Structure 1
Amino acid sequence: MTAIGVVGAGAAAAAACYVLDSATDADVTVLEKSGGVCGRAATRRRDDVTYDYGANYLKDDDQRVVDLAHEFDDGLVEVQGDIGVFDQTGAVSEGRENQERKFTYRSGLTRLAKHLFGATEATVHRRTRVERVVREGDRWTLVDADGERWGPFDALLVNPPAPQTATLVETADWDAAARDDLLAAVSDVDYRSIWTAVLGYDFELDWPHYALVNTDKEHALGWIAREECKPGHVPDGESVLVAQANHEWSVDHYDDSPEANVAALADHVASVVDDERLTDPTWTDHQGWRYALPETGVRTDALAAAEDAGWYCLGDWVAGEARLHAAVRNGLETGERLAENL
């Protein structure tokens, strides 16, 4: 039986596994370094509150992906409200007139990958960090942080962000010319970092938008969103804001005290929203995303050469668009390509 190894359980990997399950009889093994799935489309829960603290929603911008989400529509909900804008001074104005629909799940965006993996016979091993890739003849072996070897595999799907993929490429025991060309291409993908504060309040906010985005990229904040605009996420009488700092602020403060970062972002939120109460949240959470949003795409010729050897890169950085729907679409297309090549 054909064996496929998957590094990372992000949205693209979940979509690829979904395709492979229906198109092949391959045995699929997924190794995920964290305790969850769906990558930066991440969800946490606190008491009766659910919040998406990485990617914010699934954008209605690709009909195939939207149709796929509706195949697993248990708990699929539409985010309520429009997105306004604010500038470097914090002045707020209305956004575009024609705004796309936005989706998540009552249980959070992570549900998408859980649905996709759950519809397959793929085996997902969590808290298993792949540290090395070995080429043995025409097959692949993955070595984890504990030295355990997985495989051999006939093909690999590699889903981590480009910088982490580059580390695997660099240390891979593989044909030097093909490896070096792939390494050069992957290393050229630039990323924006995002430091996120989650701010919970025991009162309801009265403002008309779902979210505000800083369009001139000159404000410390890049994004403010209200989780109560997602049905089932926040109990009545409460508010939860997800505040994402811009790239420069995130890089400058990435290793600072989380408490200080949260307090600073709460102050910025209060200023933009013009509500002094927001400086004093009832509870908080935070997350740093060092490789949050790819700024550039990747050379497709290097990816094609690697695929000839059975190494398939996938994710939003391969798609060249830092959006959840782009990652899912790329996973579907990569899975189809691998299935055809098998």
Structure 2
Amino acid sequence: MTTIGIVGAGAGAAAATYVLDTAVPDAEITVLEKSGGLCGRAATRRNDDRDLVYDYGANYLKSDDDRVVELVTETLSDEGMVDATEPIHTFEADGEVEPGRDADDHKWSYRTGLTQIAKRLFGGTDAAVHRRTRVETIRREGGEEVRREANGKTNEGWTLIDTDGEVWGPFDVLLCNPPAPQTAELLADAEWKSPVREELRAAAADVPYRSVWTAVLHYPFEIDRPYYGLVNTDKEHAVGWISREECKAGHVPGGESLLVVQAGGEWSTAHYDDDPADNVAELASHAAEIVGDERLADPNWTDHQGWRYAIPEGGVKRGPVDSAADEDFYVLGDWVVGEGRLHAALANGLDVGERVAHGI
């Protein structure tokens, strides 16, 4: 029996797990996730008192990869899937809104939010997913008791140690799904006596990331606008993105509005550790000016979230990634392909799952 360990339960890990469970049915897969949720930055929250559902990280799934489209619309059930059909408009530093782009593209979520993707992928497998389990140490084990023969080569096993001191493994193969900076931190302290470790650590540490600070703003009235979202195209405004969750069926009660306002990278970095109430107030004021409705400066309920490692702005060098795979250590996620999109993370997870399955 093959044992597979996975660090992180993001979209890429979910897709890889689904492929591996199907392609290697006798594999024993263990997933360790530091948070209480699934799907990484494709995150959803609920406010049951107000009957709200909102995607406050990644906002939707694009239909830019045929394999991902087939996965979510055919392989998995499309029950509960919703499509925000309104277009995305644009604005620049002056805040002037112009008709924009993607009018005919799919912008998919679910009535219960984007985390459904990971929940359905993991739920379709026999993998053991352990939440609130933070991996602290990665260890490459030696010794005959954890060595195996595969494809004519001998490999050592992997173990993981969490912050409570519990040891997981040994695993024949290890997949690592956290953002590049967090993967680099794990590799820096990894007990792995191979030059590949430092090469991969350095490569992951070089991947540039943009921080995003998000405000969620609720209003007890409708906003009548012809768009679902607004994107800042010149990256010169404090706000990078505004979307209307009421455009997704089942997310917001009728007659109400919920804006997800994501600050641009420079603003997010500068204000990341500021008082959240001050950040929310400033972003609400910006939203009111951009959308052109002064009432939006005074939401009646708010939420917020900071994403220090939100969007990769470049990819990783392939050499260290491939060298690590030769030692049964795989990295996966949107940062591996250098495209900070949900469909990119899912597509990379499918690729990695197929590569691991082929090598077993």
Length-normalised TM-score, structure 2 = 0.94
Residue 279 of structure 1 is matched in structure 2 by 297
Residue 100 of structure 1 is matched in structure 2 by 105
Q: Contact (CA 8 Å) 2:85, 2:103: kept in 1 or not?
A: no
Residue 336 of structure 1 is matched in structure 2 by 354
Partner AA of 2:63 in structure 1: D
1:186-211 deviations in whole A, cap 9, x for unaligned? Answer: 11100000000000011000111100
Residue 151 of structure 2 is matched in structure 1 by none
What SS does structure 2 have at the residue aligned with 1:133? Answer: strand
CA distance in 2, matches of 1:115, 1:99: 26
* Of 257, 262, 275, the match for 2:275: 257
Partner AA of 2:32 in structure 1: L
Moved more, 98-107 or 211-220: 98-107
Distance apart, 1:105 and its partner CA: 0.5
Q: Is 1:289 aligned to 2:292, yes or no?
A: no
Residue 11 of structure 1 is matched in structure 2 by 11
Partner AA of 1:126 in structure 2: R
CA distance in 2, matches of 1:117, 1:106: 19
What SS does structure 2 have at the residue aligned with 1:66? Answer: helix
Shift of the 258–97 alpha-carbon distance from structure 1 to 2, 3 Å rule, reads closer
* Of 50, 53, 67, the match for 1:50: 53
Residue 267 of structure 1 is matched in structure 2 by 285
Residue 240 of structure 1 is matched in structure 2 by 258
Residue 77 of structure 2 is matched in structure 1 by 72
Residue 190 of structure 1 is matched in structure 2 by 208
1:8-65 deviations in whole A, cap 9, x for unaligned? Answer: 0000000000000010011000000000100000000112110000000000111110
CA distance in 2, matches of 1:74, 1:157: 30
Partner AA of 1:9 in structure 2: A
Q: Is 1:160 aligned to 2:165, yes or no?
A: no
CA distance in 1, matches of 2:257, 2:9: 30
Residue 63 of structure 1 is matched in structure 2 by 66
Moved more, 167-176 or 192-201: 167-176
Shift of the 277–245 alpha-carbon distance from structure 1 to 2, 3 Å rule, reads same
Distance apart, 1:99 and its partner CA: 3.9
Q: Which runs of 5+ in 2 are unaligned?
A: 143-155
> What is the 5 A alignment of 1:104-115?
104-115=109-120
> What is the 5 A alignment of 1:121-136?
121-136=126-141
Taking only the aligned residue pairs, the percentage that are identical comes to: 63
Residue 317 of structure 1 is matched in structure 2 by 335
CA distance in 1, matches of 2:85, 2:254: 15
CA distance in 2, matches of 1:113, 1:128: 17
Once superposed, which parts of structure 1, at least 4 consecutive aligned residues long, lie more than 3 Å away?
Answer: none
Q: Which runs of 5+ in 1 are unaligned?
A: none
CA distance in 1, matches of 2:60, 2:283: 21
Partner AA of 1:119 in structure 2: G
CA distance in 2, matches of 1:283, 1:191: 30
What SS does structure 2 have at the residue aligned with 1:94? Answer: strand
Q: Contact (CA 8 Å) 2:112, 2:251: kept in 1 or not?
A: yes
Distance apart, 1:97 and its partner CA: 6.7
CA distance in 1, matches of 2:15, 2:129: 14
Partner AA of 1:206 in structure 2: D
Length-normalised TM-score, structure 1 = 0.99
Partner AA of 2:209 in structure 1: Y
What SS does structure 1 have at the residue aligned with 2:241? Answer: strand
1:256-279 deviations in whole A, cap 9, x for unaligned? Answer: 000000000000000101111001
- What is the root-mean-square deviation of aligned Cα atoms in Å? 0.8
Distance apart, 1:320 and its partner CA: 1.5
